[in-house]
Amino acid sequence: MSIIRRGFFLSGLPAALAMVLWVASGPAMSQAGAAKEKVQVRFTWKLKGEYAPLFVALDKGYFAAEGLDVDLAEGQGAQTVLRLLAAGTENIGYGPAVAAAQAVSQGLPVKVAALYQTKAPMGVIAFPEVSLKSPKDLEGKKIGISVGETFTDMLAPFTKINNVDLTKITRIQMDNSARTSQFLSRNVDVMSVYLSNELPVLEKKTGVKFNVMRVSNHGLHLLGASYYVSNEFAKRKPAVVTKLLRATAKGYADAMKDPKGAAEIMRKYMKVKEDPDVLAAQVKATVESTNAPSGKPIGWQEESDWKAQLDLLMATGAIKERKDLPLYFTNQYLK
């Protein structure tokens, strides 16, 4: 019964009885119009097709159905987001889990609550005439590096794994926004990219089929897309984290079933509109690398993956201390 009709119905009754009936009918009304819990998810980078599953969950009302008012916000690097979480300035982030592993090892009070990629779809690219068949080919070449960019953080471990002399690689520090232009201008020889992000953009823009060296084929198995939560927020509002992950899993499931539809949804939310073919390629690469183990919720984390990741980081010197596994990740919110 609408408020207007209900008011009309009660208007002919004695005031006391009308009040009783009004109060008695109130809970259903208040529940339907209950204020949703505001939640901000801070991405570690600008909007890109890799984030499509979350926007599917937003667009289809999966977050709202859980009682959440979710704001999906851009960021400026994984390490920056993780420091904000640790400081209590932010509560939830979304980015590469390998960065969280490093942060936890440094003592930051954060944790990975869901893992969507056990092998980040990352590669190093070069123009067709530039040899790039193996990691050894990086020697003698110039690479653009940036603060907060995942492969920049992992370049030393990658070269160590593959017996590459890091001193023979010319590393040119620059803002991340300048890396692409410097690469296309041939001022650097190689550039790291996410196969689910930059590569489809560059190939569409240039019409070039670049040489691609997928780093996971050469020992660098990095845990990719994940949800970070601050320990304090997770302890204070565990139900919110559970609801967020449940809704996100539905968005991922839909994106995996219909990558093209997910790309179309993502395009609606892009501040700078992206080419439909590029977005479709980004989403396709994303869902192909999604962690969806049989019989487990999407985002489920295995101890073996985390042990292997920490082994790698310790062996290559990317972390100085290895803490107990429960400090790095948890599955308790995946329900």
- pLDDT, tens digit, 9 for 90 and up, residues 29-68: 334 457 899 999 999 989 999 999 999 999 999 999 999 9
Q: Are residues 194 and 253 in the same domain?
A: no
Stronger pLDDT, 154 or 10, i.e. the higher one:
154
Q: What is the pLDDT of residues 128-151, one digit of tens each?
A: 999 999 999 999 999 999 887 878
Give yes or no: residues 316 and 232 share one domain: yes
Q: Does 188 fall in a domain? A: yes
Q: pTM here? A: 0.80
Co-location of 322 and 228 in the same domain: yes
Let me know if residue 53 belongs to a domain. yes
What is residue 275's DSSP assignment? P
CATH of the domain at 98: 3.40.190.10
Task: Classify each residue of 302-330 as buried b or exposed e, where b means 16 or more C-beta atoms within 10 Å of its C-beta.
Answer: eeebbeebbebbeebebbeebeeeeebbb
Q: Last residue of some domain: 187, 218, 249? A: 218
> Does 110 lie in the same domain as 227?
yes
Residue 50, in any domain of the structure: yes
64 and 210 share one domain: no
Distance CA 116, CA 298 (A): 7
Give per-residue pLDDT as tens, 184-222. Answer: 999 999 999 988 888 999 999 999 999 999 998 998 889
Is residue 236's pLDDT more than 80? yes
Domain that holds residue 310: 38-119+223-327
Note the pLDDT tens digit of each residue in 292-327: 888 999 999 999 999 999 998 998 788 999 999 999
* 3-state class (DSSP) for residue 151: helix
Domain count, the chain: 3
Q: Which of 158, 146, 159, 157 is nearest to 191 (CA)?
A: 146
